[in-house]
Structure 1
Amino acid sequence: MAAPQARRTEDSTSIRVALIDEADTQLDKSLHRLESFLRFFGFCQYSPVSTILSWLAYAVIGVALPVIAIRFSYCSNCEKYQIRVFELEILTSQLILAAISLLCISHNLRKYGLRNTLFVDRYHGHTIQFRDEYIKKINGFFRVLIVWILPCFLLKTAREVVRVIYLRHDLWWHSVILVLALLVSWTYSIIIYLSGTALFNLACNMQAIHFENYGKLLERDLDVSVYIEEHTRLTHYLSKISHRFRIFLLLEFLVVTASQFISLLQTTGNVGILNIINAGDFVVCSIVEVVGIILCLHAAAKISHRAQGVGSVASRWHAFVTSFSNDASQMGTPTNGGNLEPAYPTCALPISYSESDLESVDYVPMPTNTQLASHASSYHKRQAFVSYVQSNLGGFSVFGWTIDRMLVNTIFFIELSLVFFVLGKTITITTK
């Protein structure tokens, strides 16, 4: 009897090891695909040669190609409708945003590597659940780029086609070359910009996985010091993300804000005719820039909300453990592993994150019977743990400013006030 049982144990162990190896292989493939994508667009500047090639491609495709195309797309009405002036202003903002993204992201990848930038190795070798979530988030990185770049690319293509038809060049191949040059340059710059924001979004989503699963750690009958150590590790890695990406987020936000107000001044202060020919690029540029900032602010606010929500999770866990433990002892229920089901119904404790970003409501199960009967976590230890978590909520911060929903709402109303100020200075209504 012992031999078959040992054989079954050995078989189950081998199957478990095979599943872990397969999951590791899938994660490695996803990370390799992501790194290949970043390497192709010049983010992986691991050597002087790759750095030179990356910035040379940026100078040729991002800068020289559109400038030459704009220079040779002269028409008699270009000066009248300020087409060239508008295009150069839009091109400048796109190039600055792409340069910031390329510079900041390549610095992080060169200094820390892709795995350490995303903190994937931290849970390498643990449960398969984290690796599956990692793969989903990495696939979501490419999905975000496709969802936003493809519609904007179609809109940009339609605008360039209408513009070429309006300019009416004598040679049709001349018009085709100009359209292709502008589309290639625009697509390159936009991919660079959105890839940086999407990678920041991915890094925050990776850590959000662990904050969302922190409540499940409380199900286990562990010492309170383990919970404190895990929470300290989570907040430590969150502070690292804040330190590595704060310059990137701040510069991108400032440049996008300046670009939007310049566009607003140019369109509202212009006394000429505005149409899709001269002002169509303002629409496309604004959509792309705002999408990038939304991705960054959404990710930062989400990870801050998850980190701050741990305090309520811990206090609720402490209240249930304390109350049901006291009820069980008062009713004479044994605390040495006896059955507590009559006094403690099995249900799920809902944790509402009050999401306005269409996130689903997560659930953390109630403490298990073993946890309620455990003498390892006394009331004073649990109270000290809850006090520690509530006083160390953490969150993504930029030079001390925690980016949460309150700060995002403040930024929105400040931007809206500035927009109305500009409109008040540029738009006037005259009455006879």
Structure 2
Amino acid sequence: MAAPDSSTIQTPLIQTQTPPLRQEDVEVDDTQLSKSLDRLETFLRFFGFCQYSFLSFSLSWICFLLLGVALPILIIQLTYCSNCEKYEIESFELEILISQSLVAVISLICVSHNLRKYGVRKFLFVDRQHGHLIQFRREYLQKIHGFFKLLGVWIIPCFLLKAARQVVHIVYVHHSWWQSVGIIVVLLVSWTYSTIIYLSGSLLFHLVCNLQVIHFENYGRLLERDLDVSLYIEEHVRLKHHLSKISHRFRIFLLLEFLIVTATQVMALLETTGNYGIINFINGGDFAVASIVELVGIVICLNAAAKITHRAQGLGSVASRWHASVTCSSNSVTQMGINSNGGSVEAANSSTSIPTSYSESDLESVEYVPMATNTQLASYMTMYHKRQAFVTYLQSNPGGVTIFGWTIDRVLINTIFFVEMSLVLFVLGKTITWTTK
């Protein structure tokens, strides 16, 4: 059976629970969300992600090649001091530039491809057809604002660290004051441009995942209501289908970024431990800056993927609690006069109570106690089996963001950590040795 298209999946579960909104509030929220999306699209267009035409495609890559690659290479070649190896190592500068450009290129290619194919709204699942715009627009606004806030939180400290390194480097490598200022400005602009492109790709993945977290949290709250099980299953199929789309769109991005960042860290270890000169903040500080920026991007991606995977896998426990609560609810049992063994509550109580002699009036009143019918019993057991089947379905289909079948959860993150640690220790063991006389 073919996978259901999200454009054709109905969402009665969400629609039935949408509270009535005033027309004024709807229009205001629509306007604010549209402005936020336009602001986000303008930002992405400025940094070359929106390659909707051949002209925008050409301008985007020309700007990146000139500003992100050619200009810093030219500065490195023209200002290199062959007699200042204590403060300047050309191979370090070029290798750092290569790794910085590669992660930015991967981000630019993957994000621009998805935006060109789907557009901003459909890419973020915030259109009316995919994202239930009426109910969740305010949560969408918070998450979109969080995109810019998180970008500023990470880019500003890294920029200050990079600027401090460049200033210290220029102080020790003597140039004229106007040449020094020009070098600092050009290198900082180039670095900021490439770094924002790289972090924007990671933050867009983070934003897409957080927008879906809204739906999973709402789904967990809806499970506490006694609705038709078929509606729950239909909504979960839709959410799981969106997760598979997110995984498909970002799997190449995540895999390549992880491989490039790993290779960069290994290269930094080999260069710093295998160099016979003095390594200090002046000539090797860019390794620290580049490592921090690249690891921040990877951590942002892993955090977002693990968060939404945790929400998806946690639905099984929420559904189990809901199923147990409904099954063991005394109100629902006594209303139907049926216990969990299929008998009446009164019959169950009489089997454990002390024998009592009734008067004639008592016996007449007993005749009016409602007894469980076969229809009631069948209905109760049918609902029980439906809930049990639903819980089994959720536990068998946990969902989550995947990379070619590998679910990004805490287990995978722990595996990545130990693989990286083993790799670091292996490189250090091959490059650092102690000798005794």
TM norm. shorter chain > 0.5:
yes
The answer for the alignment partner of 2:53 in structure 1 is: 47
Shift of 1:230: 0.4
CA spacing shift, 1:70–1:28, aligned 2, 3 Å: same
Deviation at 1:69, TM superposition (A): 0.8
Residue identity in the other structure for 2:131: Y
Q: Deviations over 1:322-349 (max 9, x none)?
A: 110577418969xxxxxxxxxxxxxxxx
Counterpart amino acid of residue 262 in structure 1: M
For the pair 1:324 / 2:329, whether they are aligned, the reply is yes
Matches within 5 A, 1:98-137: 98-121=104-127, 122-127=130-135, 130-137=136-143
* Selected match of 1:282 from 264, 270, 287: 287
Aligned residue among 65, 71, 81 for 2:77: 71
| Distance across 2 between alignment mates of 1:392 and 1:91 | 43
Of 42, 48, 70, 1:36 maps to 42
Q: Which runs of 5+ in 1 are unaligned?
A: 1-12, 334-373
Q: Could you tell me whether the CA contact under 8 Å between 2:87 and 2:169 is conserved in 1? A: no
Is 2:219 the partner of 1:211?
A: no
Distance 1:376 1:227, change over 3 A: farther
CA–CA distance in 1 between the matches of 2:84 and 2:47? Answer: 33
Which residue number corresponds to residue 5 of structure 2? none
Cα distance between partner residues in 1 of 2:298 and 2:20: 47
The answer on 1:150 being equivalent to 2:153 is: no
Equivalent runs, 1:8-407 vs 2, <5 Å: 16-79=22-85, 83-121=89-127, 122-127=130-135, 130-169=136-175, 171-325=176-330, 328-329=333-334, 378-407=383-412
CA contact (8 A) 2:306 2:409 kept: yes
Q: Is the 8 A contact 1:246 1:399 kept in 2?
A: yes
Deviations 1:218-271 (A, max 9, x none): 244421111000000000000000000000000000000000110011111111
Inter-partner Cα distance in structure 2 for 1:296 and 1:141: 13
- The Cα of 1:125 is off from its aligned counterpart by 4.1
Change (3 A) 1:68 1:219: same
Could you list the per-position Cα deviations for residues 177-234 of structure 1 after superposition, in whole angstroms to 9, with x for gaps in the alignment?
1111111110000000000000001001111111111122124442111100000000
Q: Is the 8 A contact 2:224 2:322 kept in 1?
A: no
Pair 1:332–1:125, CA change in 2 (3 A): same
Task: State the Cα RMSD in Å.
Answer: 2.1
Secondary structure of the structure 2 residue equivalent to 1:309? helix
Contact kept in structure 2, 1:83 and 1:277, CA below 8 Å:
no
Q: 1:214 and 1:15 mapped to 2: Cα distance?
A: 20
**Amino acid across the alignment from 2:170:** V
Give, in whole Å, the separation in 2 of the partners of 1:120 and 1:331. Answer: 43
Whole-Å Cα distance in 2 between the matches of residues 384 and 14 of structure 1? 33
Describe the superposition over 1:37-83 as per-residue Cα deviations: whole angstroms up to 9, x where unpaired. Answer: 00100000011100000000001100111011111112243446661
Tell me: CA distance 1:214–1:14, structure 2 relative to 1, closer, same or farther (3 Å): closer
Tell me by how many angstroms 1:376 deviates: 11
Counterpart of 1:93, as a letter, is S
Give how far 1:384 is off.
Answer: 1.2
The range that moved more, 266-275 or 400-409, is: 266-275
Q: Secondary structure at the match of 1:75?
A: coil
TM-score w.r.t. structure 2 length?
Answer: 0.83
Taking the aligned partners of 1:80 and 1:95, their CA distance within structure 2 comes to 26
2-structure distance, mates of 1:60, 1:230: 48
Q: Where does the alignment leave 5 or more consecutive residues of structure 2 unmatched?
A: 1-18, 339-378
State the AA in 1 paired with 2:141. I
1:332, 1:314 → 2: CA distance? 25
Amino acid of the structure 1 residue aligned with 2:161? L
- Contact 1:81–1:272 at 8 Å: present in 2 too? no
Aligned residues: 378
Q: Which has the larger radius of gyration?
A: 2
CA contact 2:86–2:283 (8 Å) conserved in 1 = no
